[in-house]
Amino acid sequence: MRAFRGNPAGQSSGLGSYPVPQAVITASSLTKKYKDFVAVDGISFEVAPGESFGLLGPNGAGKSTTMRMVGAVSTRTSGDLSILGLDPNDHGPEIRSQLGVVPQQDNLDQELRVRDNLIVYGRYFGIPARQVARRADELLEFAQLTDRAKSRVDDLSGGMKRRLTIARALVNDPRILLLDEPTTGLDPQARHILWDRLFRLKEQGTTLVLTTHYMDEAEQLCDRIVVVDKGAIMAEGSPAALIKQYSTREVVEVRFGSDRNAQVATQLDGIGERSEVLPDRILIYSDNGEAALTRIVERGLSPMTSLVRRSSLEDVFLRLTGRSLIE
């Protein structure tokens, strides 16, 4: 099977080989307003070719709106945006012909069979019928849907639909793949299958831009992320660097019962670098979790449950915004 590559944009589009651009996406003070509501508030970022870049943030943070602007679909209110060196205001169709888009809500054509969905979509990029038929078969294999080629879309499971949507997004051999909440609503097994497929694309050098509110997804797939909240960027870096910068190596989670957590918290002063009191548990940030837990017990406090774990992006988000990612 032919590899899916982000660069150069593949033999199929007939672009030949040319120098690798330094940044495939450049956003500067990118803003989107709907009347009085500011959905995206002047964000700036760059994405390098072959990079896997994530926008991490809670629902309503402006991630999807950003993706729609990057996808050359939604018109920006102000700021600058360049995709593959082109301005989406002037070259929307040209930019979109180089992108693969996996939207938050599947929008497969339910009136068509699985394979026909790929064929029809490939035609939108001007790919000749014979070539797109061959491509559809390759992609069905990649998405592990070969045996469902003639199924109705409605008869597919949620995970299969998602894989078909990803296969459809790859039909034009895109240089950049945009994934908006790719695994939301899927069961854990389906998520892992999907991550595996996306990871293969990443290994093959496709530029991935994805939004997620799942920290584990961001950690699995992204080389670099920006944490977004209320339309603005709070922090930027690799998952490991962000954790290092904004959290400790380990976290102790202790539960004393929902009505006692706040009261006990005062007795934990001095243990760990800092703590967060949540309604259901207390988080104590320390580079040595086991040692911190020992100190808690030494103070005569006996938590109902305790857990020592590595810090995650969830902790970074909590630190930056004072709120949890999934609310």
Partner 1 sequence: MTTAVERDAIIAAGSKPRRWGSFYVAEHRIRSMRAYLQTLVVTSFGNPLVYLFGLGVGLARLVPTEIGHATYLEFVAPALLASAAVTVAAEECTYPVLMGFKWNPIFYAMNAAPISGTQIVNGLVLAVGVRMLPTVGIYFVFMLLFGAVPSALGVLGILIAVFTGMSVGLLIMAYTSTIVEDRGQMALIQRFGIMPMFLFSGTFFPITQLPVYLQWIGWISPLWHGTQLGRDASYGQSEPVWLIAVHIAYPLALGAFGWWSTARTVTRRLNA
Choose among 102, 247, 116: nearest CA to 174.
Answer: 102
Kindly state whether residue 33 participates in binding partner 1, applying the rule CB under 8 A.
Answer: no
Select 91 or 230, whichever has its Cβ closest to partner 1. Answer: 91
Residues paired with 37 in a beta bridge: 34
Rounded to a whole number of angstroms, the distance between the first and last alpha carbons of the chain is 42
Select 168 or 319, whichever has its Cβ closest to partner 1. Answer: 168
Kindly state whether residue 92 participates in binding partner 1, applying the rule CB under 8 A.
Answer: yes
Select 19 or 300, whichever has its Cβ closest to partner 1. Answer: 19
Q: Which residues 93-112 are close enough to bind partner 1 by CB under 8 A?
A: 93-99, 101, 103, 105, 107-112
What is the nearest approach in angstroms of partner 1 to the Cβ of residue 128? 10
Spatial distance between the Cα atoms of 135 and 133, rounded to a whole number of angstroms: 5
Contact region for partner 1 (CB under 8 A) — 115-123, 188-196, 211-219, 275-283?
115-123
In the numeric block, the tokens 């990443």 are attached to: 202
- 8 Å CB contact between 284 and 272: yes
Kindly state whether residue 116 participates in binding partner 1, applying the rule CB under 8 A.
Answer: yes
Kindly report the number of other CB atoms within 10 A of residue 215's CB atom.
21
Kindly state whether residue 91 participates in binding partner 1, applying the rule CB under 8 A.
Answer: yes
Select 43 or 169, whichever has its Cβ closest to partner 1. Answer: 169
Select 110 or 263, whichever has its Cβ closest to partner 1. Answer: 110
Among 86, 278, 301, 308, indicate the residue that binds partner 1 (CB under 8 A). 86
Contact region for partner 1 (CB under 8 A) — 20-28, 137-145, 217-225, 299-307?
20-28
Interface pattern 157-196 for partner 1 (x via CB under 8 A): -----------x---x------------------------
DSSP tally for the chain: helices H, then strands E: 11, 13
String of b and e for 68-78 (b: at least 16 CB within 10 Å)? bbbbbebebee
What is the nearest approach in angstroms of partner 1 to the Cβ of residue 113? 9
Kindly state whether residue 18 participates in binding partner 1, applying the rule CB under 8 A.
Answer: yes
Among 30, 43, 61, 84, indicate the residue that binds partner 1 (CB under 8 A). 84
CA angle 272, 274, 280 (to 5 degrees): 100
Q: 158-169 and 114-123 are packed helices; what angle lies between their axes, rounded to 10 degrees?
A: 20
Choose among 106, 142, 99, 154: nearest CA to 124.
Answer: 99
- 8 Å CB contact between 200 and 5: no
What is the nearest approach in angstroms of partner 1 to the Cβ of residue 13? 5
Choose among 191, 135, 136, 205: nearest CA to 162.
Answer: 191
Contact region for partner 1 (CB under 8 A) — 91-99, 194-202, 243-251, 310-318?
91-99
- 8 Å CB contact between 103 and 178: no
Select 13 or 44, whichever has its Cβ closest to partner 1. Answer: 13
Select 164 or 268, whichever has its Cβ closest to partner 1. Answer: 164
Return the H-helix or E-strand segment holding 310: strand 305-310
- 8 Å CB contact between 251 and 285: yes
Q: Name the residues that contact partner 1, by CB under 8 A.
A: 9, 13-16, 18-19, 21-23, 26, 34, 71, 73-75, 84-86, 91-99, 101, 103, 105, 107-112, 116, 120-121, 123-126, 168, 172
